[in-house]
Amino acid sequence: MSSQLHHILEKLEHLSPERLSEVEDFIDFLQLRDRDKRLRQDFAQASEAAFAKAWDNDDDALYDTL
């Protein structure tokens, strides 16, 4: 176990049950936010090939310089 994790666990041991519940909610929030970020990145990456056909064309080349 890393020293940082050990230090956090020591702090958690001193919290009330109500505060522990808040910490758990915050951890869940962070995990959800990270998952949503990864999903957005994966979606953008998966969409690049499909949008490349629409975006990379001679008619729209003028907009590439903006």
Q: Please write the tens of the pLDDT for every residue from 8-46.
A: 999 999 999 999 999 999 999 999 999 999 999 999 888
Compute and round to an integer the Cα radius of gyration of the chain.
23
What confidence category does residue 3 fall into, taking pLDDT thresholds of 50, 70 and 90? very high
Q: Looking at residues 3-11, what average pLDDT do you find?
A: 96
What is residue 24's predicted lDDT score, i.e. its pLDDT?
A: 98
The domain segmentation of the chain, as residue ranges, is: 16-65
Whether the per-residue pLDDT at 63 is higher than 80: the answer is no
pTM of the complete model: 0.60
